[in-house]
Each structure stands twice: as C-alpha cells, then as structure tokens.
Structure 1
C-alpha cells in the first residue's frame, strides 16, 4: 500500500516536468488532474478548477469539439488532433492533442490528454494593443483592474444546462464590442457575469467601471457619468466622469431602469455618437467605451411602465442575456452548497462536511427569492454560529420555519382544483394522441364541444410538436 502511494506521488511530480500539458477527467467529465504545463497553457487556478466539469472551465467546448469527451464517447483514442478553444480568460488557444480513454475491466472510467501548444503568433496590431494595455497598467495603478474586475467565467458555479448555455453565449459576447443588456433577479450574479465578460474581452487590461444607477440621486448621477467642469454649476470642479475613466474599457451600469428618462436621452446620444459632454461644458470628448447594462425587472415590463426608453433599450440590447433564477436551476443546488461549504470552511476555519438529505429536500422545494446570494448567506450564517459537521434541519435560519410547515401540509393534501386540472389535461392529451391530434375526433371521444376542446388545449399549452 505504501509503495503505491509513494509511486503515485512521484509520478505526479515527474508529470509536472513534462513540457506537454496533461489533463485527466473522470467518467462524469470532471477534472481530476492537470500538470503545471497545462496549468500555464490555460492559465488555470488549481483551487478553482479541480473537481469542476470540463465544460464549466472551458465553456467554448462542446461534446462535438472536446477531444477528451469524444474518446470517452467512442472508447477509441485520438492521436495528434487539432483543437481550438477559448479559455475562460478569453484567449484563443490552439493545441495538438493525443487523447486516450481510461478503462477498467472494459468500462470507461475517464480520459487522459496530452496537449502541445501551437498557438500562432498574434498579429502585429494585437501585439501593439497588448503593449498599450501593459503601458496603461504601469502608468496607472497596476492593481486597479484586477481589484475592480476580479471574476472570470470559472467563478460562475453550476452545471445546469441553462447556465452552461449562458456561459457559452456570454463568452462569445465577450469577443465583440457590442452593448450587452443582462436581465436577472436580485442575487442571481449579474455583476459576476459582467466582470467575466470584461475579463474575457480584448478590454480586460483596460478599466472596468461599475455604477448602480439606483444608488445615486438623479442630479448627481449625470455629473458622475459625464463629468463636470469648474464653474459649470455651484461648487463644480474639473472632474472626469465614468465614461472618461472607462475609456478603452468597460462601463457597467446596473439597474438601468432606475435612470431618469431625461438622462437616458443623453445616454442614447453617447451610444450613437461615441462622445460625451461634461456637465456645464460646450466641448465634446470622444470616448471608446463598451457599455454593459443590467436590470432586475423584465425589460418589456420596464418599457411598458416607461422606466426604460424603447430607443435606448434597442440600442443597449444588441446582445441580450438572461440569468435564470435559482428556482429554475435547482439541479445546481448541491454543487453550489458544496462550493459554499468549502469556501466558508476555509474562511472560518470550520469543518462542515455536508448537509442532510432532509435539508437538501427543503432547499429543493424552497423558491429562493434572494437567489444564489440568499443560499450563500444561509450557508455562511450556519457555518458562522453552529458547531456541526452536517447541516441539519434545526440549523436552518428563521425564514425556513413557516415554509417547512407549509410544504408538509402540501405533501399531505393536494388542492382539489389542481388535481382536477391535471386529470382533465391527461384525458385531453390521451384523446389527442389516440386520434393523431384530430381535434374533431378527439372532441367526440371525450364528449365535449370542439370549441371547448380548443380553449382547453390553449389553456394547458397543448400543441402538436
């Protein structure tokens, strides 16, 4: 036994000195190991990536393009295959891969891949941009951008299909300079997504400026955004606005629906003309800013309530991304719980191992109005005050008390109207399938008028796919 441990530790040490990148995944696609060459090639953080699904770490890959996944699907090795992907920082990388399935008694248990970097030298213009970015960081505060925009796509936790699709779309959006409008309820992680887009874009070494439009009075917000000139109004000084500070970078405006309509008109002119005018000045200043906005209300509702100008909305939503609330991605709850437990175990020096099945069932039935932020705070609060290795029902905060009683009652007795509707829907669907979706015949079979059947089909959303 000791020989095996000694052998394994030395093998991993040797693999770190090999020039090719080496990566190993298990049968579920989770990353088990990568050597230092792979870490340097993809700029991976060991703590953030080990144990994560390969598509979480590489959202630009898919079942069709990932050589690691392909060899597990086919059971056959792939030799010297070219693969191009965009890593979570937005860098396009091309490698030559040799990928081999790992088998045990004929069953595939994972895959191992050797990668050789053949990324072409960037064009001269791109090198000049990188040089300018480096010069900016040295002449300004080198730590400023990292502190302001620290999150990348690898920090977005989740394996839910909607989230994987969102990350892939956002990664593609990061490769453009088009305005992005993000809709998500409070606590879904809008700024996390915005920072990830910025850090995967060509503007990642330039400023990232964020401003919540609901956090300032309307009369102050205009000066904050566009800047002021001395004498423009009482007490005014020569100060650049956020658009000037974000020049060549990204400006994130959260809760854009809280911006006054008259200020939205000025925003529209900036997006159209690419120039701003400081408050109290007649001089225009050209700016190159990628604008990303977010709202915690449905954009259509905000327009109907005249909270967002329609012309501004269409200008801002060239790319439209929606972050699903936690109640629509409950299959991610175990992954998120594990992540937050691990996070706060390290921060608080606690030793919680897991949550009970009862608590996981409660979490799956709860609607999470505060979304992921609420889930994180629940885990943080429990680990802060409870001395336990397993989170149990009695450790849950007060807001779960009445909810637990409610779901207990719901499980015992189903409302009569809901039961009737489910039965009615089933009878109609059975009739439609039996008649190959002939509405007249179905109406005869279940003995209701044709018009009534059409109404109920519309009510229950029954359509022949």
Structure 2
C-alpha cells in the first residue's frame, strides 16, 4: 500500500510572514498539531503548536510573525513510497508526524502515527478478508481447532462434505462431530509437525486428511485439518481393477485354447493371436503378425464378412494347410459401433473342443460389455474427456474448469466464437454436485420482447393467448441445477435489472403472477465480447457484471493451440468417416503446415467446417490443399510449399518421410500427455495398444529417450 492512500490532505499551510494569531486560527480550524510553511508551493519548514504555546507563555504578541518559530529541519516522505518505507523514515527521524511531498516536491499532506496505525489495520483486515475468501472457495474441506480441541473455524466445503450444521459447530469439541480426527490432531499439537495424507473412513465417506499445526509467536496454539473426498475415486479404481482381471481371464483363456484365435481392429489389422493360431500358420513370434492385415496372414478366412459386411459366421468348413478347420467369426461392437472382429479356427479334436468354443464366445461378449462399461465410467467421471487436446494451456483450462465445477460460485466463460464454450459449461455442470437440470439460453437468439417470459415464465391468463395453467421459465426449470446464459453480452438492459434481482435474492415472479417463486440456481455465463468494455460504455450493468464474474474461465483460441491441429484433424476425419461411405486416411503434411500458419478466426468450428467441405471434394485417400474451401485461399499463399524439380520418385519419398515424421510427432505428443502410459496414449490416438507398440518400434521411440516414460 502507498502513502498517498492514508495521508491527511487537509493541513495547515502558512507563509513565512504569517503571524501567531493567523497560525492559532489555522490550528483551531484544522485541529492539527503542525503547520507547513511554504513559499511558491515549496516547503520551507514547519511550525509546531507547542512552539506557539511557549511563545505565548513568554508574553509574545499575537501579531508577532512566526518566522522565529519555524523548524527548517523537516522529516519528509514521498507520497508514492510504501507504508513500510514511511514507518522506517519516521522511526529513524524520531518524529510522530512527517510532511508528505508529491512528485514535484510540493506539499501533499501530513502523515501521523495514527495514520500509520490505521493503514496497517486496513492492510491486516484486507489480508484477513483474502484469507477467509481463499479458505471458503477451496475445493478441499478445512476445519481448525484450538489447543483444547475445540473447533474455531471451518469452510462451507467442510459443512457440505460432512453434512454438518455450522450453527452448532463453532466452539464445539471435535469429539462431538468428528471423533476419527482426534488422534491425529493431538499428535499434531504435541509434535508441532504436519501429519500428511492419512486415509480415514468416516460415516459413508473415505477422505485423505492432512493435519497442520497453527503457530502464534512460534508456539503451537492450534491445528488445522484439510480433507479431500476420495470415495468416488476408490469406487472407480475398484471397477477398473475388475476390468483388468477380466482381461487377464481372456488372455489366459486364449492361451489355454489349443485351436487358433485371432482378433483384429475395424480395419482388419491383427491385434491379438494365440499359440494355436501361430502353430497353424507356422508363426514363431506374435510380433510377426501384430498390426498386419489378417487377409494377408490368413487369406483362406473370408474376413470381409465381419469387417466389411458386419456378418456373423457361426461355423464354416475351410481347408487350411492340410487341416480341415471350422472357422467362426463375428464383429465386435461397443456402444452400437463396430471396432473390430474375432476369428476362431478349430482344427484339433473338433468334437472335444466344442465346449471351449462356446466358452470363448461367452468371454467375448463379457469383454465387449465391460469395455462399454469402462467407457461409460470414464465419460461420467471426466466430462472434459471428449475435448481433443494435448496443449498445455487447454490442460490448465480443464483443471481450472474442474475446480470451478466443485465451487458454488457463478462462472463466466469467455472466448472467441467456435471455441466450445457451451461444451465446457455442460461439463462443469455434470462435474458439479448439483442435482437439477442443465438449462441453456442463448440471449442473442431470443427476441427482446420474449426474453422475460422465457426467463421467468408466465401465470395462467397473464396475457391474451397465454397457455392455460401458465408456463414455467428457464429459472424454474433450472431449479437446483445450472442455467447457462450464452451470449450474455447481448442481453438488453431492461432484463439485466431483473436478472440481477434474481441473482441477489434467488426469487422472482412469473409474468402476471402475484406470488414469489424461490429457486436455487447456479449461473454459468458465456460471451465472446469484452464485458468490461461494455460496462465502461454503459451498455452492460456493472453490478450484474460483478455478480456473474466471480470465476472467469477463458478458453484459448485455436491459434494459441496450434499443436492440437494434427490431433483435431485426425479426430474430425474419423468422425466424418463414420457418417459417410468414404474412407479418408487423413490430411497431407502440406495441409497441416498451412493450417498451423492460419489465424482461424472461427476456431474449432471453422476447422471442422473446412475439413467436412474438403472431405467431399477429395477423390483420393488424402485431403490436399486443392480440396480446401475457396475462402481459405490464404492457406495456399501465406506459406506456400516449394517443391524441387527432382524426379517423381524422390518427391514421393519426401512425402512419405514427411508423413512419417508427422505421425511420429503426434505419437510423442500423446505419450508426453499421458506421462508415458501407453494404454492412455493409444486411447488418445484412437488406435489399439498393439498398433501403438508397432508404431513405436517403427519410429525407434524407446524408453531411454528424454521423456523417460514409465511402462504402463
């Protein structure tokens, strides 16, 4: 804090020729102890009230000039100095008051010891307020006790987590409400050391608790417990462990089968084979066939039935390598979408192994089910998992959004058009503890005359043509849930006033109604405009702005996350492939390079639109520069790709190297994001774990590289 904020600017200003009478009159008027003597706005000295008193005691005339009483040795402070600097200067000068000067060395005011005390008290209160606000908005629960184990403070998160009533909690013994914490609180008070990461089960909760000593003057006077609820995480971990066990069961069943089994992905690339299959086709190592087309390894099997025509083949007699074999195959589905096929070849003791075939079919159905369950669990526990990104800024944004979801405060999401504000708003709602519905309103798409009825609804007979029985508004529909106000910057001023009242009082009246409706609604707003500038222009209410601007989340535009473009292109190409009969492999390196030099005013929405339009114009397996929409001509001219005049074979070789390098970079980015976990990296890339291993071997991506990934 600066000196000028706590300076007394109403001070006595006298000229050197002023009389004692004039000085006394000024002292009485301003009620101060010293006066500043200036000439041409410059400080000459000061005169103290005590000097005047001493002069009067010696029968000095009231009309005597004060010049002999002036003290020219004055302690001064600059108004832009800090309060700590001012304190040190006054202590060093051994004075109770000092003159404050401005940047032109002219008198600005007087600072006294009382001003310093007031300033420090203000700073202390400000710090206390910040600390209280910080604790209240923590995602973790916080409870503190004194040396007698009586509760002194707690935050709202603690009340919500432990289902306690704050009215009865303050000054209550910790044993009454939270007996499991007593032991560690006593240990913390006794040793003065932090007791970290203690797993404690309490009622229906499992929490990780840390116990921290509180010191005053280097003496332990209390302790604080910080709690994080891990109940849901432990449940998920248990389900994941169950899934791992089921996969081990499947692997063991395949190895115990004397007949051949092969599993492929949706493109017919082999992802798993057993020893029986390897024996039939005289294969020494699995690595020889993993990632290769089954049509090349086992041409006798009509694999196109399952892979292309989605047909299930119960059993067909086919000669393979002088063996009469029964071949069965079926596509594998997850959430209604095919992601591969399984092929079974019975060639040894056919009669004896019929039951094994039936057992394997049952296991295949189970693993398909549990994969679907795993996907559902993953989606439910991470609403932002569908956001395709390896960008550090986007990861930070998702972490901030997760923290905001657990708070009770209103959220303002800002960002340019096309960045996915609505997607994140719904994710925040899904991650929160609110039991109500997620209701969204586009403030810019509803006519102004209908906005009020849309928000607050109307009563029966409110106006001509009103629906019988009335109609609830968006606030009623979002009770105990979340109301998402998209494009809030376009809301008319008349409605801003009514919205502010609802936010302040959590109640409103329907149009034409006489009774008040109370609601519990959390507001998430979004805009691509600068609301602060709209406030300055008087278009948007300042008090409403501060009501919705409690937590601000800003989504980075696409031009600030260009490293995501290869992944986004791959994601959108796969998405479009599933909707059409075409099968585009991807975009060329030239297109990727051009995309990463474009400013993308329409962000993700524009990128998807450009790829979808180019998709229909491409007659090959790749999207090239010439397939892009005409409005993206800038991509072809801003950073043109120059080719040499070498023979065609060399040009194709360079193209292949460029594609390989792009693929290698995408794999490295996925491994870095997943911290070396190859299973997670394969999920990010949309490929099988086996295919990822093959690609890593192809591009010589090893564990001893600089990323030092750990084995998954």
Regarding TM over 0.5, the answer is yes
- The structure 1 residue matched to 2:233, chosen from 67, 87, 93, is 93
C-alpha displacement of 1:240: 0.7
C-alpha displacement of 1:304: 2.5
Q: Which residue of 1 aligns with 2:512?
A: 280
Aligned: 1:401 with 2:630: no
Alpha-carbon distance in 2 for matches of 1:91, 1:248: 23
Q: CA deviation digits over 1:348-380, x for unaligned, max 9?
A: 132211211111111011111110001011112
Q: Which residue of 2 aligns with 1:216?
A: 446
Alpha-carbon distance in 1 for matches of 2:541, 2:630: 41
Alpha-carbon distance in 1 for matches of 2:533, 2:593: 33
C-alpha displacement of 1:151: 9.7
Q: Which residue of 2 aligns with 1:191?
A: 422
Tell me the SS of whatever aligns to 1:253: strand
Q: Which residue of 1 aligns with 2:412?
A: 181
Q: Which residue of 1 aligns with 2:545?
A: 313
Q: CA deviation digits over 1:19-45, x for unaligned, max 9?
A: xxxxxxxxxxxxxxxxxxxxxxxxxxx
C-alpha displacement of 1:346: 1.4
Alpha-carbon distance in 2 for matches of 1:380, 1:150: 31
Q: Which has the higher contact order (CA 8 A, sep 6+)?
A: 1
Alpha-carbon distance in 2 for matches of 1:258, 1:91: 42
Aligned: 1:155 with 2:295: no
C-alpha displacement of 1:299: 2.3
CA gap 1:83/1:405 in 2 versus in 1, 3 angstroms: farther
Tell me the SS of whatever aligns to 1:252: strand
Q: Which residue of 2 aligns with 1:48?
A: none
C-alpha displacement of 1:291: 1.0
Contact 1:214 1:259 in 2 (8 A): yes
Alpha-carbon distance in 2 for matches of 1:316, 1:91: 31
Alpha-carbon distance in 2 for matches of 1:151, 1:376: 23
Alpha-carbon distance in 2 for matches of 1:188, 1:376: 12
Q: Which residue of 2 aligns with 1:271?
A: 503
- The structure 1 residue matched to 2:526, chosen from 281, 294, 309, is 294
After superposition, where does 1:395-434 map in structure 2 within 5 Å?
A: 395-408=627-640
Contact 2:381 2:431 in 1 (8 A): no
Alpha-carbon distance in 2 for matches of 1:365, 1:402: 10
Contact 2:613 2:628 in 1 (8 A): no
Contact 1:188 1:371 in 2 (8 A): yes
Q: CA deviation digits over 1:116-172, x for unaligned, max 9?
A: xxxxxxxxxxxxxxxxxxxxxxxxxxxxxxxxx999211111111110001001011
C-alpha displacement of 1:384: 3.1
Q: Which runs of 5+ in 2 are unaligned?
A: 1-198, 200-205, 209-229, 242-379, 642-712
C-alpha displacement of 1:229: 1.3
Q: Which residue of 1 aligns with 2:648?
A: none
CA gap 1:402/1:365 in 2 versus in 1, 3 angstroms: closer
Shifted more, 387-396 versus 313-322: the winner is 387-396
Q: Which residue of 2 aligns with 1:380?
A: 612
CA gap 1:270/1:83 in 2 versus in 1, 3 angstroms: closer
Q: CA deviation digits over 1:206-251, x for unaligned, max 9?
A: 3111110011111100100001113333333311101001111111
Alpha-carbon distance in 2 for matches of 1:150, 1:344: 27
Alpha-carbon distance in 2 for matches of 1:352, 1:223: 48
Alpha-carbon distance in 2 for matches of 1:197, 1:262: 29
- The structure 2 residue matched to 1:389, chosen from 617, 621, 624, is 621
C-alpha displacement of 1:302: 2.5
Tell me the SS of whatever aligns to 2:567: helix
CA gap 1:307/1:160 in 2 versus in 1, 3 angstroms: farther
Contact 2:207 2:231 in 1 (8 A): no
Tell me the SS of whatever aligns to 2:599: coil
Aligned length, in residue pairs = 273
Tell me the SS of whatever aligns to 2:233: strand
Aligned: 1:225 with 2:455: yes
Contact 1:348 1:384 in 2 (8 A): no
Alpha-carbon distance in 1 for matches of 2:551, 2:232: 21
Contact 1:258 1:307 in 2 (8 A): no
Q: Which residue of 1 aligns with 2:569?
A: 337
CA gap 1:295/1:396 in 2 versus in 1, 3 angstroms: same
Aligned: 1:236 with 2:376: no
Alpha-carbon distance in 1 for matches of 2:551, 2:407: 10
Q: Which residue of 1 aligns with 2:535?
A: 303
C-alpha displacement of 1:83: 11
C-alpha displacement of 1:321: 0.4
Higher Cα radius of gyration:
2
Q: CA deviation digits over 1:38-59, x for unaligned, max 9?
A: xxxxxxxxxxxxxxxxxxxxxx
After superposition, where does 1:347-386 map in structure 2 within 5 Å?
A: 347-386=579-618
Alpha-carbon distance in 1 for matches of 2:636, 2:495: 46
C-alpha displacement of 1:407: 4.1
Contact 1:91 1:200 in 2 (8 A): no
Q: Which residue of 2 aligns with 1:71?
A: none
Q: Which residue of 2 aligns with 1:415?
A: none
C-alpha displacement of 1:310: 1.1
Alpha-carbon distance in 1 for matches of 2:640, 2:413: 37
RMSD: 2.8
Q: CA deviation digits over 1:316-341, x for unaligned, max 9?
A: 01111001110111111111111111
